[in-house]
Amino acid sequence: MSGGTRLENANPLIFQRSGERLLTATDEDEDVADPIDDREIFDILSVSINDPEHPLSLEELNVVEQVRVNVNDQESTVSVEFTPTIPHCSMATLIGLSIKVKLLRSLPDRFKIDVHITPGTHASEDAVNKQLADKERVAAALENSQLLEVVNQCLSTKSM
């Protein structure tokens, strides 16, 4: 995190962005209730979180994919798997934390949020997953103003 002079992955593969979600007639209809679905969560994550290393969104780096987002609106659960760009990425915890914080800020209280690494894509998968699942450690991390600063930077929209 010490503002490394060399990037760990200087030239990542960039993936095409899926277009904006198409507006349907039911979206405009007052009487139809739209459940919170995978795509909605994916949109929240893909648009607003930037990779700490690159000026690119998580979607463009393929860190989050829509198929790895699972929502159950009725049971109020969200599960997100994310894929670090390289297996030794030291930013994995930070990316996971940013995803978690973004979801905490963007979803109603009733949801139980589970963020973990896509199985088999990171060297210290278990350790990171454990940290992310531990409520107290997440809360403590956000008390740390330096860490909060970095997370907030990831969550700042590009236009600002």
- If the CB atoms of residues 27 and 126 are measured against another protein, the closer one turns out to be 27
In the complex, what is the shortest distance from the CB of residue 34 to another protein, in angstroms, rounded to a whole number?
Answer: 4
In the complex, what is the shortest distance from the CB of residue 124 to another protein, in angstroms, rounded to a whole number?
Answer: 25
The tokens for 55 are 């000026």
- If the CB atoms of residues 104 and 125 are measured against another protein, the closer one turns out to be 104
In the complex, what is the shortest distance from the CB of residue 27 to another protein, in angstroms, rounded to a whole number?
Answer: 6
- If the CB atoms of residues 74 and 146 are measured against another protein, the closer one turns out to be 146
The tokens for 133 are 């699942």
Task: Give the count of beta carbons closer than 10 Å to the beta carbon of residue 42.
Answer: 22
Q: Give the binding site for another protein (CB under 8 A).
A: 11, 14, 27-28, 30, 33-34, 36, 40, 43-44, 48, 54-56, 102, 105-110, 145-146, 148-153, 155-157, 160
Sort 61 into a burial class: Cβ within 10 Å, 0-12 / 13-18 / 19+: buried
In the complex, what is the shortest distance from the CB of residue 56 to another protein, in angstroms, rounded to a whole number?
Answer: 7
- If the CB atoms of residues 117 and 151 are measured against another protein, the closer one turns out to be 151
